[in-house]
Amino acid sequence: MNINRTNNFDLIRLMAAFQVLIWHGAEHLNIFDANDPFLSILFHFPGVPIFFTISGFLISHSLERNNFNLKKYFRNRALRIYPALWMCTILTGLLLIYFIQPIVIKDLFIWFVAQITFLQFYVPTSLKAWGAGHPNGSLWSVAVELQFYLILPILLYFINQPKRLLHKNIRIAVLFVLAVLTTYFINTSSWIHAHELLSKVLGNTVFYYLYFFLTGIAIYKNFRWIEKYLKGKVFIWLLIYAAYVLLFQTWLKLYIDPYTVSILGIIANTLLSLLTLSFAFSFVNLSKNLLQENDISYGIYIYHLPVINIMISLRFFGSIWDLIVMAMAVTIIAYTSWKLIEQRALRAKF
In whole angstroms, give the CA distance from residue 126 to residue 307.
19
In whole angstroms, give the CA distance from residue 74 to residue 63.
10
CA distances from 92 to 82, 85, 105, 189, 303 (A): 15, 10, 14, 35, 9
**Torsion sign across C-alpha atoms 49, 225, 150, 18:** negative
Looking at residue 1, its pLDDT comes to 67
Looking at residue 259, its pLDDT comes to 78
In whole angstroms, give the CA distance from residue 326 to residue 316.
10
Q: Cβ neighbours of residue 290 under 8 Å, at least 6 residues apart? A: 11
State how far Cα 20 lies from the chain centre.
9
Per-residue pLDDT of the chain (350 residues; tens, 9 = 90+): 678 889 999 999 999 999 999 999 999 999 988 778 999 999 999 999 999 999 999 999 999 999 999 999 999 999 999 999 999 999 999 999 999 999 999 999 999 999 999 999 999 999 999 999 999 999 999 999 999 999 999 999 999 999 999 999 999 999 999 999 999 999 999 999 999 889 999 999 999 999 999 999 999 999 999 999 999 999 999 999 999 999 999 999 999 887 778 999 999 999 999 999 999 999 999 999 999 999 999 999 999 999 999 999 999 999 999 999 999 999 999 999 999 999 999 998 76
- What is the gyration radius of the CA atoms in the chain, in angstroms? 20
CA distances from 89 to 16, 115, 297, 306 (A): 22, 7, 17, 10
CB atoms within 10 A of CB 187: 15
